Structure 1
């Protein structure tokens, strides 16, 4: 989908305007998931609009490629995907591409976590790292201990590395707009820095508050802001956990006392009410994929801010309830 930018006409002829316009062809950027699309939109702001392969509401772990999706993969000038640790279903189609393909998880300078790692909280005043606890045995192979945690976009410093790579790639593919791409990156960096400082100030007093998640998605975000979930309830897939595992999960919630339990859109697990009946547990939702975020400059910052604000609102409510 090549587009032509509108050229300014200040005394120039129509012929010159058309020639000038034809020199600017939008670089077709396609990303595998929406968070990468949000970052690309920061860099392409005013020049182009990135596309996404996995639509909102679909799981990046189990997405099935359609013929139209394969065509989009082949037609992209630049394709960004996290990598095989999140999107192995893309591997075969990507090898047939002739355009530039960037495997995000291999970018130099990224902070990469592995499942089972401890959170290092020294920068937030903790003397020792804290290890989270998972309950249940139905994690898929992508979450086996030692494997790469591919939810790497949830650490703002990683988003800056990704954005910088995109600015470099787009400048090489479209030199006429190189200054715009670099300016967009600088603006993104400045906005994200302000949002990061605000979230650190808000979340720092809440580091000891207990909360649980249904899926081990947010370790990058937690590490960046000095948080650590109390447990992973590990409900997923089509198989209902056995009675023993349900009892174990409920026991963890009961032992924690007043706590928060976070699910991810679009659907809260059906066992939520059974697990929490009669317990002082508050429900809330964390959106790692930006389902409700508009693709625009500022979109990635909104994604991160929403996660931080939802965490803070629930954990602050625990403070009020205990006072």
Structure 2
């Protein structure tokens, strides 16, 4: 970078680099699987090109079915960013069949991403966040992906590591715009740091209060901010929980005095009504993927703020 540019704000540097680049029209065709991943990719690509998104709107990767337009996007793609087959299982075979020329980037494998073991059963011990696995390119010995929680973006430290991996993959595929990707990645990482500090302050007053979630999507968020999730209504959101599971969760709510039970916009809210009936727990909604948020670079911070606000509003009232 030229010496005079070191003294300019990052946004100005990015604008200069983008204006000077002759290769914007030749930017790679990029596809992202789910909205949080798409948001981070879009932030790194801002000003260069816009990535395509597969799982749109309120759809869930747990229940998604590929459309012909998705197959067409994969066939044209140069890069595909996804968490991995453990989360987006619907994408595993189409990537092999349709995205033959694309580089596939599994962000669960990104250097610096810390993984947490999936929790067993519907009721957990307080602050049971499993074992951490600092991830370079392999897990700890004997540790398979099927054993980990895949909602890695809900830890801001993981989001920063994902941004770095996204920028590296884009730069390798598109060296002409590498400087712009680097500047955008730096700006995005700094914004995640500021967001993290904001959320830590906001959530500190409710850190010890027990709550129940619809499914175990929030372990990374809980662990990072010291929150007290005590159970999930369902282990697999694609399957309705058994009567035994519902009875166990109700006992957990009563025994621990759980303050809130949280539904999700993508799944059946009537289950939450059944769970809280006859208890003192209140109902709330948490959204781990931004179902009702606008796609793009702003979705990730809005998603994280939305989860924090829902937790604070329900647990703090």
TM bin, normalised by shorter chain, reads 0.7 to 0.9
> How has the CA–CA distance of structure 1 residues 289 and 268 changed in structure 2, closer, same or farther, with 3 Å as cutoff?
same
Q: What is the alpha-carbon distance in structure 2 between the residues aligned to residue 102 and residue 166 of structure 1? A: 8
1:99-248 equivalences in 2 (<5 Å): 99-116=102-119, 130-131=127-128, 147-234=147-234, 236-237=237-238, 239=240, 241-242=242-243, 244-248=244-248
- Rate the CA distance shift 1:212–1:42 in 2: closer, same or farther, 3 A: same
**Which residue of 2 is the match for residue 46 of structure 1?**
47
Per the TM alignment, residue 275 of structure 1 is displaced from its structure 2 partner at its CA by 2.2
TM-score, normalization by structure 2? 0.80
Rounded to whole Å, the distance in 2 between the matches of 1:269 and 1:283 is 10
Matched, 1:80 2:81: yes
* Bigger shift: residues 106-115 or 66-75: 66-75
CA distance in 2, matches of 1:253, 1:267: 20
Number of the residue aligned with 1:59 = 60
Distance 1:68 1:187, change over 3 A: same
Partner of 1:30: 31
Unpaired runs of 5+ residues, structure 1, are 1-7, 9-16, 118-127, 134-143, 318-323
The answer as to whether partners of 1:42 and 1:299 remain within 8 angstroms in 2 is no
Q: Secondary structure at the match of 1:24?
A: helix
Distance in 2 between residues matched to 1:46 and 1:39, nearest whole Å: 14
Contact in 1 for aligned 2:63/2:238 (Cα 8 Å): no
Return 5+ residue gaps in structure 2 as ranges. Answer: 1-15, 131-143
1:168/1:264 Cα in 2 relative to 1: closer, same or farther (>3 Å)? same
How far 1:251 moved relative to its partner?
2.0
Aligned to 2:72: 71
Q: Is the partner of 1:92 in helix, strand or coil?
A: helix
State whether residues 116 and 146 of structure 1, in contact with CA within 8 Å, keep that contact through their aligned partners in structure 2.
no
Residue 111 of structure 1: CA displacement? 0.3
TM-score, reference length from structure 1: 0.78
Q: Is the 8 A contact 2:38 2:296 kept in 1?
A: no
Question: Relative to structure 1, is the Cα distance of residues 55 and 299 closer, same or farther in structure 2, using a 3 angstrom cutoff?
Answer: closer
- How far apart are residue 306 of structure 1 and its match? 1.2
Describe the superposition over 1:130-155 as per-residue Cα deviations: whole angstroms up to 9, x where unpaired: 3279xxxxxxxxxx997121111111
Q: Distance in 1 between matches of 2:145 and 2:45?
A: 37
The SS at the match of 1:41 is: helix
Note the C-alpha offset of 1:177.
2.4
**CA distance 1:305–1:51, shift in 2 (3 Å):** same
Q: Distance in 1 between matches of 2:115 and 2:145?
A: 14
Task: Output the aligned Cα RMSD.
Answer: 2.8
Alignment match, 2:255: 255
Say how many residue pairs are matched. 280
Match of 1:13 in 2: none
CA contact (8 A) 1:132 1:229 kept: no
Q: 1:21 to 1:187 in 2, by over 3 A?
A: closer
